[in-house]
Structure 1
Amino acid sequence: MRTNADITIYNKYFDKASRLDKYQRTVLKGVFFDNKKAVNTIKSGMENADEAMIVIPFSVDSNKTYKNPIEFQKLIDKSNYFTLQEGDRVVKGDIDFEITGKLSELDKNYDAYTITSVDTKDFGSLRMRHWEVGAK
């Protein structure tokens, strides 16, 4: 699989202690990131098209381990894990920015996308297995 980028994912979770939504940052190195330029017309059927398609190999370079969204939300200590779920945020590049306040600070400083779909492609050889992530 050819890769062309690193990405930073911000996994959203509810912190019971503070009773607030929080975001955990994870950098994934060695993904394929493709910006799409969809024509937003009813005639073309593209009004809800994703703006980015990201292919993440199962063997992605990260200091964290993948958990599916249900398992991730159940974890008390999420610091060693990441997930891919609709509503999470993603930025192209290795971004050293923590969301500590409002999510709008991320959007103000970076070209951030919201994950809209995650498809697991767990067939074929180990080198071919990956996630296909759509984002707007």
Structure 2
Amino acid sequence: MTTNADITLYNQWYNRVTRLIEWKRVQIPGVSWHGGIVTDVTGNGLQAANAYIVRIPLDAAPAGRTFACPEDWAATESDDLGALWTIQPGDILINGLLADDIAKASDLTAKYGSRCCTVIGWKDNRRGSAALQHWRIDGK
């Protein structure tokens, strides 16, 4: 897989004690980032939106962290989140490696604009030959 970008993924996690969403940052170098404006003609006229496809090769997975499905991520205690990462709708992706800690998603979208997208779907494509295995993220 040809890679062309490094990303920072902000995973959302609901803290059951404070009842607030917390954002956990993970940097992932060596991914495929493809995006742009897509258009569609509907009954309401021409509609345009940003659309992104990001592929994370298996060998680009964050070192020292284990991938957790969203259900396992949500059930994990705060102290154990540093050993995990996930992909789930509502997470935020930024093109580039960032060190920003955030309290809310708008902290990123206001600052980075077109360099960021919100995860709307993902697929676990860890099958087939090692060279093809990856996670696919669809964003808007």
TM-score by length of 1: 0.87
Q: Which runs of 5+ in 2 are unaligned?
A: none
Q: Which residue of 2 aligns with 1:132?
A: 136
**Matches of 1:49 and 1:109 in 2, distance apart?**
19
- The one of 85, 90, 101 equivalent to 2:88 is 85
SS at match of 1:99: coil
Give the fraction of aligned pairs with identical amino acids, expressed as a percent: 27
Task: Classify 1:61/1:29 alpha carbon distance in 2 versus 1 (closer, same or farther; 3 Å).
Answer: farther
Determine the structure 1 residue equivalent to 2:75: 74
Gap regions ≥5 residues in structure 1: none
Task: State how far apart, in whole Å, the 2-side matches of 1:70 and 1:15 are.
Answer: 14
TM-score, normalization by structure 2: 0.85
Query: If each structure's helix is expressed as a fraction of its own residues, which one has the higher value?
Result: 2
Query: In the comparison of the two structures, how many residue pairs are matched?
Result: 133
Aligned partner (choices 96, 101, 105) of residue 98 of structure 1:
101
Tell me if structure 2 keeps the 8 A contact 1:28–1:60: yes
* RMSD (Å), alpha carbons: 2.0
Extract structure 1 runs of 4+ deviating beyond 3 A: 46-50
Aligned-partner Cα distance in 1 for 2:125–2:14: 28
Query: Is the Cα contact below 8 Å between 2:7 and 2:95 reproduced in 1?
Result: yes
Q: Are 1:14 and 1:21, in contact at CA under 8 Å, matched by a contact in 2?
A: yes
